[in-house]
Amino acid sequence: MNRILACRELRARAPQTALSWFSSLNISRSVHGLPFATVEAEEISGSQPAEVLNLVQGKWKKTARWNTILDPLNGEPFIKVSEVDETGIQPFVESLSKCPKHGLHNPFKAPERYLMFGDISAKAAHMLSLPKVFDFFTRLIQRVAPKSYQQASGEVYVTRKFLENFAGDQVRFLARSFGVPGNHLGQQSHGFRWPYGPVAIVTPFNFPLEIPVLQLMGALYMGNKPILKVDSKVSIVMEQMMRLLHYCGLPIEDVEFINSDGKTMNKLLLEANTRMTLFTGSSRVAEKLALDLKGRVKLEDAGFDWKILGPDVQEEDYVAWVCDQDAYACSGQKCSAQSMLFIHENWSKTSLLSKMKDLAERRNLEDLTIGPVLTVTTETMLEHKNKLLQISGSKLLFGGEPLKNHSIPPIYGAIEPTAIYVPLEEILKGNNFDLVTREIFGPFQVVTDYRSDQLPLVLDAVERMHAHLTAAVVSNDPLFLQEVIGNSVNGTTYAGLRARTTGAPQNHWSLETQGELALGPQKQ
């Protein structure tokens, strides 16, 4: 009875507690600006460099080793990242080793933590809905991974909506179990979503907020203790988000945050014996991790993503706009960016390509609709262009020149949005195929066309590609859709007149969190 009364008292006090939290938030904001932030996005510069620290065993710490990050737009050393080397991983290893295999919580242990994370999600979502906080993260993303305000704010918006999805009771609903009748009286089979325990999350530079937050929260919801490593070029964004999450109630000991090079992180993963690692990045590193970790890894690696325009020509302006967005938004630095465009002969007779060219030429550095490429140099992209142009029948459709009048440092790429036409028959030749389907993580795409009787050749081309991440089939012809979708495979295929390769809607994440991102096996 005393326990029942205590629970009733807690429930009665809950609205008041929430009200007190929001009241204190408003007071803090009016007096201190952003109470969680340690930087001002607009003030980070060579004369006022920001510092990024590591979080281990509940404390933010510096190391003796600093990695200086250059401003992608002007080359100034504007961020100092405190990086851990191989001699400094032991505190992280010890912290992870203290987390048992059954996790920090599970359906039979500390179930109140499911509710705690529902509250944290609600508070964090509210924070990201505040214009000043929303703008802070948008601007911070722009500083380290230059993209247009619209693209950067979209990342913040999706993150906020994800957190809203898991407010209240939704975290424990994510842990929903199942029961199956047994063979005889008294026998039943029950399955539960169970944590792995100590886990690791490694994320890339191109989505410095959205990818790590969604993956981190999915791991935490199910009771895991994660160590998070974000590409050092952009880790300041997630460091500030970690501070926001702590402000919203996340226990500071629940997550380890490390800055290091790849070699150090690889050593840490092996010594800490993490029971699962979620890696988003290059296929080369992914293949190494799969071997080193003996399969205890979930991967999202490269994507040479294709789009096929079907025989039914409609909404030419809209399709041209989507093609431009898919290929060149974020300067093509999306794993789902449009790498190859197959145009049906009916579309070839329209002004589609000229409209794509006009849209591409509107992009500029002033509004960051085109910008620095952080993993591929200008020389590499121009060299690839020249090799493609040596293929018989190929031609430059637009772009193909370095950006002018800028101060982007030479360690990064700076090239106009580029499209190169290569005949379909030439693409399929053995000595050309690997070259044409090489992924260039920048504003670069290959375009080809086909006749109706050449659709089997198109399907052969997409079958031979090895990185089946996203694809789009732009058509409302049901028979055409059935033929292409039934004879291709991708992580995600968008179909219909509005099909695109990028811009995954927010509702994807609520589904995927129940699988990959939850970082938890089923327990029976």
Q: What's 349's domain CATH number?
A: 3.40.309.10
Asked if residue 110 is part of any domain, the answer here is yes
Asked if residue 474 is part of any domain, the answer here is yes
Domain boundary among 278, 300, 322: 300
Q: Parallel, antiparallel, or unpaired: how do β-strands 188-193 and 522-523 relate? A: antiparallel
- pLDDT at residue 466, rounded to an integer: 87
pTM of the entire structure? 0.89
Same domain, 292 and 374: no
Taking the CA atoms of residue 358, residue 364, residue 370 and residue 372 in that order, the dihedral angle to the nearest 10 degrees is: 140
Rounded Cα distance between 241 and 209, Å, is: 8
Same domain, 262 and 318: no
Which SS3 state, helix, strand or coil, does residue 422 take? coil
Same domain, 408 and 449: yes
Q: Identify any residues that bridge with 70 across adjacent strands, giving them in sequence order.
A: 77
Question: Reading across the β-sheet that carries 297-300, which strands appear in turn?
Answer: 59-61, 54-56, 256-258, 225-230, 198-203, 276-280, 297-300
Same domain, 265 and 330: no
Domain containing 259 — which CATH number? 3.40.605.10
Asked if residue 31 is part of any domain, the answer here is no
Same domain, 361 and 260: no
Q: Tell me which DSSP letter residue 346 carries.
A: H
Same domain, 390 and 484: yes
CA-based nearest residue to 234, from 505, 44, 509: 44
- pLDDT at residue 467, rounded to an integer: 83
Centre a 10 Å sphere on the Cβ of residue 150 and count the other Cβ atoms it contains. 12
Same domain, 285 and 354: no
Taking the chain (524 residues) in runs of 10, the rounded mean pLDDT of each run is 39 40 42 83 95 97 96 97 97 96 96 97 98 98 97 95 95 92 93 95 95 96 97 98 98 98 95 93 88 90 90 96 96 95 97 98 96 96 98 98 96 97 96 95 97 98 92 97 96 92 66 40 52
Domain boundary among 273, 300, 327: 300
Same domain, 335 and 203: no
Q: Tell me which DSSP letter residue 374 carries.
A: S
Question: Residue holding tokens 């399929």?
Answer: 428
Q: Tell me which DSSP letter residue 413 carries.
A: B
Asked if residue 503 is part of any domain, the answer here is no
Taken in order 258, 264, 265, 267, is the CA torsion positive or negative?
negative
Q: How far is CA 326 from CA 151, 238, 320, 356, 445, in A?
A: 12, 25, 10, 11, 10
User: Phi/psi class of residue 45: alpha, beta or left (left: φ > 0; alpha: ψ in -120 to 50)?
Assistant: beta
Catalytic residue among 248, 323, 330, 335: 335
Same domain, 199 and 293: yes
Same domain, 216 and 359: no
Q: Indicate the number of domains in the chain.
A: 2
Active site residue 7: no
**Do residues 276 and 198 touch, judged by C-beta distance below 8 A?**
no
In the chain, what are the helix, strand and coil shares in percent, each to the nearest 5?
45, 20, 35
Q: What single string gives the DSSP state of each residue in 275-292?
A: SEEEEES-HHHHHHHHHH
Rounded Cα distance between 211 and 224, Å, is: 17
**Do residues 339 and 439 touch, judged by C-beta distance below 8 A?**
yes
Rounded Cα distance between 66 and 189, Å, is: 53
Domain boundaries, position 351: 306-495
- pLDDT at residue 521, rounded to an integer: 54
Taken in order 485, 488, 493, 499, is the CA torsion positive or negative?
negative
Catalytic residue among 164, 239, 300, 416: 300
Active site residue 323: no
User: Phi/psi class of residue 106: alpha, beta or left (left: φ > 0; alpha: ψ in -120 to 50)?
Assistant: beta
Domain boundary among 283, 300, 317: 300
Alpha-helical (H) ranges within 185-342 are: 210-221, 235-247, 262-272, 283-292, 316-328
Same domain, 252 and 313: no
Same domain, 310 and 291: no
- pLDDT at residue 300, rounded to an integer: 81
